[in-house]
Structure 1
């Protein structure tokens, strides 16, 4: 991995930690503080760019697992939003395994791996 889990956790948790808000009547009976503990923090605007970058990273990682000694970039895939086509069987298998480890379900109606 490029960065360790400590740095990643710090970035995410600090972002989520900054997303606390005071909510007052009429939304609630008395003034309360709320915090977003999961999901995309407010103020991150468009999540597609971060999602796409993460999706490309997973393909890159799958390529490294499939071909550890590969020295050229892997370009045998296409990504549009959350739809993907991977034309290399070894990379596709590693991609599928990585998503499985992340508890992400693949919709085969929308993608081809």
Structure 2
């Protein structure tokens, strides 16, 4: 769902706008120029691929395809009913294999 954020919200978070990559800078300028009513994805500027050497890593490891990978996440607010967590696109099985309630509240 799209949400409206204050027009000056990015000015309070300079870390989103600081980057050595020209691609990230272009994305930041796009975000800065977008109006508050425009839906703009900021994820590209949060973790810029060039700045974190993702292209070099992928080039060095051409056979990596992320199949048979299990990722453990300790999180305090996972919505187990979220549609995006229900299944893997084009594959059988669920994205979430196991859940453990570390709080003892039995909310999951």
Instruction: Please state which band the TM-score falls in when normalised by the shorter chain.
Output: under 0.3
TM-score norm. by structure 1 comes to: 0.21
Q: Give the structure with the larger strand fraction.
A: 1
TM-score norm. by structure 2 comes to: 0.21
